Amino acid sequence: MNITDTLDNGNIHLKTRIVVPPMATQSTEMGVPGVRTISHYRTFARNPLVGLMITEHSFIDVQGKADPDQMSFADDGVIPYQKKLTETVHGENPDVKIFSQISHAGFNTSESFTGQELVSASAVQTRSSISRALTVSEIHALEDKFAAAALRVKQAGYDGVELHSAHGYLLNQFYSPLANFRDDEYGAQNIENRLRFLMETVRKTRNAVGDDFPVAVRLGGSDYMDGGSTIEDAVKAAELLEKEGIDLIDLSGGFNFYTRKGHHEPGWFSDMSEAVKRKVQIPVLLTGGIRTPEQAKILLEENKADLIGVGRAMLRDPLWGQN
């Protein structure tokens, strides 16, 4: 398998196996992509090795806004601005696909710029406050907001949507035993309960966007921390999400975020991605520490994943692999 091989699997049709993963730029203008943000993604589209790019996460509700300059998909007013981004990318390279990642930060934000209390799966002490546990009715309302945001993504001309359930954000806070201390049907008693919020969100998202629009999940499959989620959890979660109808699973860290302590090898989450890939038929995306095309090729040949995300190296050189 090579990085220039195409991928055709269900709703996923990509010209190469290289993905530009979500990376925050903090370059938006009042929550929408302006000249700087659009130019940023346009440069990646010029690289013929890029088959897919996934934009930095966009908030689905102001209470879940992760930083002051984060992009928004929280209301219909952003759609024309987001269309400018997708039209620019597709105009630069009609073959490249672009997905939008949507998220809610949960307690991983600050009241100072959301103007609202912190919420999460449970009451958790943060640096500045204590989060409040969401009620079941509030969970359902947020599922609806994710679905509404996903529909806006489709209306804005994106080729797919990715639900952000990694890096300690809200959906990940329900999945991880490090933050979920509930005793109801969304609690930590088993993987099905910890995954219920995400599964119901996938179902509502699919209903909103239709059967032929790609829905991906970025899953913080393992916390790589004592008492946290495990690789075994990631495998079971991936199997359940595949049955629910997602088209792609993008694996990353949970409460360890996008790095792994003590690991600097290319593809430092490959033990997780390899385990997941053995059990699912949908494409598996691996990101983390890949610096060269040869490293990406080796990971594909070793069946660690179906797609390789190149983040920091691509950020340093948008024409990565062309020099």
Distance, CA of 154 to CA of 135 (rounded, Å): 29
Per DSSP bridges, beta strands 12-14 and 7-9 are antiparallel
Residue 126 burial (CB count, 10 A): 15
Q: Quick check: 308 and 290 in contact, CB under 8 A?
A: yes
Distance, CA of 156 to CA of 175 (rounded, Å): 30
Catalytic site residue from 41, 81, 158, 169: 169
Distance, CA of 322 to CA of 60 (rounded, Å): 36
Residue 48, burial from CB neighbour count under 10 angstroms (0-12, 13-18, 19+): middle
Task: Mention every residue, 6+ apart, whose C-beta is less than 8 A from residue 39.
Answer: none
Per DSSP bridges, beta strands 132-133 and 119-120 are parallel
Residue 175 annotated as catalytic: no
Residue 75, burial from CB neighbour count under 10 angstroms (0-12, 13-18, 19+): middle
Residues labelled catalytic: 169
